[in-house]
Every structure is written in C-alpha cells, then in structure tokens.
Copies of this chain bind each other. A is one copy, B any other.
Amino acid sequence: MAVTIKNVAELAGVSTATVSRVINNEPGIKQLTRDKVLEAITKSGYRVNTIARSLKTSRSKTIGLITPEIANDFFMNIARGAEEFLGRLDYSLIICNTNESIEEETHRAELLIEKSVDGVIIIPSTNSGSHFKILTDAGIPVVFADRLTEDFEADAVVVDNQNGVYMAVSYLIARDKNKIAFIGGSPKLSNARERFEGYKQALKEYGLVIEDQLVLIGNFHVDSGFKLMKQLMELKIPPDQVFIANNFMHMGAIKYLIAGGYKPDNSPRIGSFDDLELSFILGYASVTVAQPVNEIGTQAAELLLQRIEKNRDEAFQVIRLQTDLKIFRMR
C-alpha cells in the first residue's frame, strides 16, 4: 500500500490535519512544524492521492474533451492549446473520441459525469447539442470550441468564419469576377454555414449571382474534396476560381487536380479555409484563411476555468477570434 497522510503524520509527530495543511500550502503553520512535515514527506516518499482528495472536495481537477475525431490535425491543435493551458494549472485532460456520432457523444458525456470531471470542452459533430444538457444538469460547465450548436447554449470559442471567407472570396473576386465556385461543408455545422454566408456576402456585394452548379456541399473530409473538385472540373465550363471551406477537402481537391494532370496554370485558382501545409508550395492556391487554432483551445480552457474556479456565472459568452488572410504571391 502507498504512503498516506497518516503515515506522514506519525513520522512527523503531528496530526493528519497539519500534514494536510502543509500539503495545501495553507498559512498559519509554524515554520518548524512545516519543516518537520516536509521532511517526513520526502523521507517517506509520500504523494497525494487525488482520488481521496476529490471525494472530499468534489473537485477532480480533470477536464473532458469531446471531439469528433482524435486523429485530426485540426482538432488536436485545439486539444494542444487546451492541454497546455490546463497542464500549467495541474489539470488533466481526458480525451473522448465520438466518431461524429451523437450516441457516442451522449455516452461519453455520461462517462465524464461519472468521472466527476470539473468541466468539458466540446467540439460538437452536428448542429445538435441538447444531449449535452446532462452535463450542465449535473452541474458541470461546458464550453463549445470551433462550432456552435443550435439547441443548446453555452460558452463558446469560435472564429469569425463568415468574415474570413468574405475577405478571401473578395480577394478572389477582385482578381477575376468570373465563375467563382464554392466547396463547402454540411449545413449541420455552424462553421460550415458561416463560411457559406461569407461566400454569399462577397458575391452579393460585388453584384455576382450564385450559380447552383458552382456551389457544392461536402463533408469536410479528403475524399469529399476529391469528388467535388472532380465534379467541378467535369462541368462544361469549369470555374475560374474555387473557394474550399476546410483543409481536408482542400487536400482532396488538390489530390484530384494533380492526379488528373491539371497543372496550376490550367487549374482554377484556389482559395481555402485553414492554412494547409504544402498548399502554398504546390502552386494551386492563391489565398487562404488561417485560424488561430491553438488559441481556440487555450481560450476555451480559460473560459471553462473561470466558471470552475472563479464561479463566474454570468450569461454565456461567445468569443469570436479573428482569422488571418494569407495571400500567396505566386498566383
């Protein structure tokens, strides 16, 4: 059995309460006593048992992260931001993969309640968030990251998707008003919807008409980008420029262009959301909207901790981070 506070107390010749006070750095302890206890701690190799502490304090110093996909560069950069912030405050992060399934989201939320997490960061996989109510019902604060849901309100950290796309598409339009296509994501995702709004806003502002056959909706995955770019290139008159609403579809689209033997010079000029590694180098892209990905995670964690540690209980707060327009000189 491991060393407990009781062993330390005996070794130091004090009560368990005193040991507890020393461990928790409470004031009002004679220096001599403190030293005695500290020495007993090192000698015995004592380590707190946070399980016992949690049972008593009903604080687990653990945060849950519910994500549609673990092996996803984008989501894990959010996780990274959160983990870094939380780690510094000695919180741990439990990661839950949901495979974009609402059942899994519910299941994992239940599991997290049973684990007594202090808060949960959620990257929702759809529009719907009402099943997360069990968390707040259990008194566990929640913050959405990257996406909002329609039927459940909470703190959230997202980026200004609409404006980001608006700027990028405006840039494309300024270069060439002709036939600007859009490869977007499911309207069930708030970020996908907002990005589409940005596209529409730009076209409208420049007096351009939205052509149905130039607006294609995919699922934010590589394959989908591949297929939709194929579809565009097989039109009688392919578009002159294409805005692609996320990194994975962008990757798929470029895969199609390369595989199809389209060189940058005889391909549509591409604008995209998310700053894809290699994208600039490959020569197809002319502009991209970069997100402060890590910061989404950091701020989400911070928002959560305010509710947990500072008992902030004002109205929900939605932080919208600004995106960064990156223009590639090559095209």
Question: Footprint of B on A, CB under 8 Å?
Answer: 2, 47-52, 54-55, 60, 62, 69-73, 76-77, 79-80, 83-84, 87, 90, 92-97, 108, 110-111, 113-116, 138-139, 222, 251, 254-255, 258-259, 277-278, 281-283
Contacts and interface: CB of A to CB of B under 8 A. Distances in A.
**Minimum-distance CB pairs A-B, first 10:** A70-B80, A71-B80, A71-B77, A71-B76, A258-B281, A92-B94, A51-B54, A50-B114, A51-B116, A95-B95
A293 to B, nearest CB: 8
Contacts of A139: 2
Contacts of A84: 97
A116 B49 contact: yes
B49 A114 contact: yes
A128 to B, nearest CB: 21
A138 B277 CA distance: 42
Contact of A95 (B50, B93, B254, B278): B93
A71 B71 CA distance: 9
Contacts of A47: 110, 113-114, 138
Given A51-B115, A55-B55, A93-B95, 5 more contacts: A47-B110, A62-B94, A71-B76, A251-B278, A258-B282
Contacts of A283: 258
Contacts of A259: 281
A97 B87 contact: yes
Contacts of A96: 83, 87, 92
Contact of A254 (B51, B76, B278): B278
A47 B93 CA distance: 21
19 contacts: A2-B139, A47-B110, A47-B113, A47-B138, A50-B114, A50-B116, A51-B51, A51-B60, A55-B55, A70-B80, A71-B79, A83-B95, A92-B96, A93-B94, A255-B278, A255-B281, A258-B278, A258-B283, A259-B281
A78 to B, nearest CB: 9
A26 B23 CA distance: 39
Given A80-B70, A80-B71, A52 B50 contact: no
Contact of A83 (B54, B97, B138): B97
